[in-house]
Amino acid sequence: MKIMTSILAIASITIGTIYLDSCTKQYLIPIYLIVSGSFTLFFVMISVASCAPNDESNILAFHKCGRVWKSLISLFSLIWFITGNVWIYCIYEPDYIDTTSPNYCAKTLYLFAFWTTTVTYILLGIALFLGCCGLLCACALGGSLRIGQRG
């Protein structure tokens, strides 16, 4: 999962950089992709960092520092994601053909940003649905296990 996330983050940075000045309708979309990709890569690097100190007394401080950074990055990423949603969805659907139009946005740039955001919502919906199903199953099994234990 971390490899797939890293590949998507690198793709976001690359597309944002290539099409940096290619969206007159909403010039912040490429910047959104570059920043979100960079923070995602930074988050992945922090989560796989294996350079923990060998000293027992420093291990707890190292883990606390990592948690603080992860929390700050997660909070920023959530706010940035919501902001990016506004920038992406409010211009649907831009002009992909006329580069002189004030409504122009490069098709690759816009569709990449649009679909990565939309797929994020789809995956979030699936995760929430599966989580609710798991919770219902756990409640049902927990209730039947308690009844079986009484008798």
Residue-by-residue pLDDT tens, the chain, 151 positions: 889 999 999 999 999 999 999 999 999 999 999 999 999 998 888 777 655 555 566 666 667 777 888 888 889 999 999 999 999 999 999 999 999 999 999 999 999 999 999 999 999 999 999 999 999 998 888 766 555 555 4
Q: What is the Cα–Cα distance from 83 to 79, expressed in whole angstroms?
A: 6
Do you find a cis peptide bond into 56, omega within 30 degrees of 0?
Answer: no
Q: What is the Cα–Cα distance from 64 to 53, expressed in whole angstroms?
A: 13
Partners of 105 in beta bridges? 23
pLDDT of residue 150: 55
Closest by CA to 53, choosing from 68, 63, 67, 44, is: 63
pLDDT of residue 74: 87
pLDDT of residue 55: 58
Domain ranges of the chain: 2-150
